[in-house]
Chain A
Amino acid sequence: MNQSERRYTFRKRKSRNLAKEGKKIDYKDVDLLSQFITERKKIMPRRTTGLNAKEQRKIAQAIKRARFMALLPYTVLH
């Protein structure tokens, strides 16, 4: 029991607020969006990005739009 509890203790989350940093979320801003995709070009989960729920939804929507416009890839195999 003690070992399983130790495995699931998490380190303190880093939180990030894009509105406070003064950045607007736009699907054309590839430099900003590329911070939120993994090496395999998947969208990072919220526990990794540290964003709040509203911004996480906006970032996900912007990444999907950028993928449609061929600014970001869907997968690494292209």
Chain B
Amino acid sequence: MAIKPNIYETLYLIRPDIGTEKFTALQEKLNKTIAANQGEIKKNEKWEERNLAYPINKYNKGSYHILIYEALPTVVSDLEKLFNLNKSDVLRFMTTLNEEEEQPQVKKETSQDSTEDHTISVFQSAVNVQNEPVKSENTNENTETVIGGND
């Protein structure tokens, strides 16, 4: 079973006093952990610098950074460990999974099918419905043989 990489998105909050040295060191560690899990970074930006809704560790302002990357699922726990080790700098973080939705396209394709395909699909669905009660009867027979046991 090959494990597929997924697209993740992490938003993390950094205290405003952080110096450029610590910030670049943190970025390097992030890049290392993502690369160690066969990852590619798609976006690494500053999202906002704003007032917080409530004070965290006596800070009223913070800068949010967003990171979008594609990597194996093992990257999530590694990044959490990294952020937890730097709790003095990284105040909050949240990782979510980005799922691409393609369902509306599928519905459009089925509506464009020709009439012949539609009738065939209706016939097949009717045939399947007839088959289902037959299957249930078979299961009943199996249970009878098991319970009876007096063959």
The answer to whether A binds B is yes
The answer to whether B94 and A73 touch across the interface, beta carbons within 8 angstroms, is no
**B residues in contact (CB < 8 Å) with A:** 11, 13, 47, 52-56, 62, 64, 91-92, 94, 96
Q: Which of the four size classes fits the interface of chain A?
A: 10 to 19
**A residues in contact (CB < 8 Å) with B:** 27-28, 65, 67-74, 78
| A-B pairs under 8 A by CB, number | 30
The answer to whether A73 and B53 touch across the interface, beta carbons within 8 angstroms, is yes
Closest chain A residue to B101 by CB distance?
Answer: A24
- Kindly list 16 other residue pairs between chains A and B, CB separation below 8 angstroms, not including A73-B53, A73-B54, A78-B55: A27-B96, A28-B11, A28-B47, A65-B94, A67-B53, A68-B92, A68-B94, A69-B64, A69-B92, A69-B94, A70-B54, A70-B56, A70-B92, A72-B53, A78-B53, A78-B54
Smallest CB separation, B67 vs chain A (Å) = 13
